[in-house]
Amino acid sequence: MHSPFRSFSSLFATTLIMVLGAGLLTTYLGLSLAADGVQQLWIGGMMSAYYLGLVVGSKLGHKLIGRVGHIRTFVASAGMVTASALGHALTDDLQFWLVLRLLVGTGMMCQYMVLESWLNEQAESNQRGTVFASYMIVSYIGMVAGQTVLSFFPELGLEPLLLVGICYALCIVPIALTRRIHPAPLHPAPLKILPFWRQVPQSLTTILMAGGISGSFYGLAPAFAAGSGLSTKEIAVFMSATILAGLLAQWPMGKLSDKIPRSRLLRVNSALLGLLVLSMAILPISGPLLIAMTFCFGILAFTLYPLATALANQHIDPEERVALSATILLTFGIGATIGPLIASGLMQLLGNSMLYGYMAVACLILFIRLQRVNYNQKMAKRMLSQQQSSDYQVASGDLVSSPLAAALDPRVNEDLVQQQMRDETLTEPEPEASPQTAEKTAESADDVIVTEPSVAEGETQAQQGQRSATE
């Protein structure tokens, strides 16, 4: 059995180079705008435009892959992203930068869809977990590497943009030269937003808030760090420590969620994260303490999404998971689009610390929502169990409550038995019928309740019982 790294080395190499360029570009733009004194609302708008592009790309990517295939879609998307990234060097017009960020987000989502669908289809069933774990590790390494590379350019000139363009150009090479067979074209996944919101409200609420927190951090944390007096190298360490914490926390949190109910973990996680970001917002923190706190932030913030996704899949039928994945991606994209706008507006009005103040409010809303949904679910289950216990009545068997029971009882009068079996009212007692006569009468009657063999057998047993009593 081949190692996943060897089997998918070309796709992993493409992912590493591509994510390195993406991480470098996001932090570079945030620091450049902050250094130029641009208002935080514009910085948040840049990140919102990027995530809006991801939402658009999630629909466009399916159509492109279905029409021209995976490699052509990836090459076309990489070319568009490369041109858009380098376009930031042509002008300082912020409105034009918004359009460029939208195009970068759209192209990158198409690239992600190519890579992940390729891995999902061609990974063996017994290796799929290892393959995607490796994919996530490579992605986190690429993001950390992007922050590290930025530390070599403290002046924030055009060199980082050139490196971003080089990364997006080089990421084409491994996937274009791969010897693996193309996967099958994708089909658009259906969206069932309202049904899933009613079915898994805790998960989708958490994913919405996690999108807002993650989008705000990636877009505005460099500006926050710069406003706190950190140098470019220190900002690179700040961002790298947070992302590295998210990487290291994935496996232990996954193991923990297999032993503790995930809904409880989400509530504890949101409460701890809310206390942490509140302290980061109101306390004057700097130096090693700031790095330690942002490391803890990465552990708590970047595990919300996988926990919520696992909880949602836990309560969904397997045939609905494709639609659920589409809904999750859309929900996260909406949160990541709105979050940076709100956080940047608060930062512009009340100061840089409101980045974490916004996160504290988001965590508070999330915790209250999770508590309320969990309480309502418990009350609904309790009421249902009480209703079932109060409505339960001990019922007798069908044989005890049916007229056939009288036919099997030798103590009753046979004439009464015949009246009950035939559902008739006899005004005068009839003479005792022989088994043969009773059987013929049952065959000719139209309103006999039970089946023919049961009636004949019941009358025979009643006659035998009455004959025994007479003797």
- Predicted confidence at residue 419, as pLDDT, reads 61
334-357 per-residue burial string, b: 16 or more CB within 10 A, e: under 16 = bbbbbbbbbbbbbbbeeebbbbbb
Q: Are 131 and 8 in contact (CB under 8 A)?
A: yes
Gap between the Cα atoms of 44 and 53, Å rounded: 14
- Predicted confidence at residue 82, as pLDDT, reads 94
Tokens of residue 187, six digits: 């089909």
Provide the strand spans (E) within 294-339.
Answer: none
Residue 394: phi, psi to the nearest 5? -75, 115
Gap between the Cα atoms of 322 and 312, Å rounded: 12
Question: pLDDT band at residue 397, thresholds of 50, 70 and 90?
Answer: very low
Residue 143 maps to which CATH number?
1.20.1250.20
Average pLDDT over residues 386-400: 50
- One DSSP character per residue, 408-453 reads H-TTS-HHHHHHHHHT---SSPPPPPPHHHHHHHHHH-S---S-HH
Q: Tokens 């919520």 label which residue?
A: 308
- Predicted confidence at residue 407, as pLDDT, reads 47
Do 339 and 207 reside in the same domain of the chain?
yes
Say whether pLDDT at 458 is over 90.
Answer: no
Do 265 and 414 reside in the same domain of the chain?
no
Residue 125: phi, psi to the nearest 5? -60, -40
Provide the domain count of the chain: 3
Do 388 and 429 reside in the same domain of the chain?
no
Q: Are 180 and 14 in contact (CB under 8 A)?
A: no
Residue 412: phi, psi to the nearest 5? -95, 160
122-128 own/partner pairs: CB under 8 Å, 24+ apart = 122/8, 122/180, 122/181, 122/183, 123/4, 123/8, 127/1, 127/4
Tokens of residue 190, six digits: 């259906």
- What mean pLDDT is reported for the chain? 78
Q: Tokens 């099997």 label which residue?
A: 408
Among candidate residues 373, 393, 413, the one where a domain is terminated? 393
Element (H, E) at 242: helix 232-257
Tokens of residue 226, six digits: 């710069």
Gap between the Cα atoms of 343 and 359, Å rounded: 8
- Predicted confidence at residue 418, as pLDDT, reads 61
Do 157 and 294 reside in the same domain of the chain?
no
Do 172 and 197 reside in the same domain of the chain?
no
Q: What is the pLDDT of residues 195-240, one digit of tens each?
A: 888 888 888 999 999 999 999 998 889 888 888 888 888 888 999 9
Residue 81: phi, psi to the nearest 5? -65, -40
Q: Are 247 and 137 in contact (CB under 8 A)?
A: yes
Do 288 and 159 reside in the same domain of the chain?
no
Question: 296 lies in which domain range?
Answer: 191-393
The torsion angle over the Cα atoms of residues 210, 261, 132 and 30, rounded to 10 degrees, is 20
Q: What is the pLDDT of residues 11-56, one digit of tens each?
A: 889 999 999 999 899 888 888 888 888 888 888 888 889 989 988 8
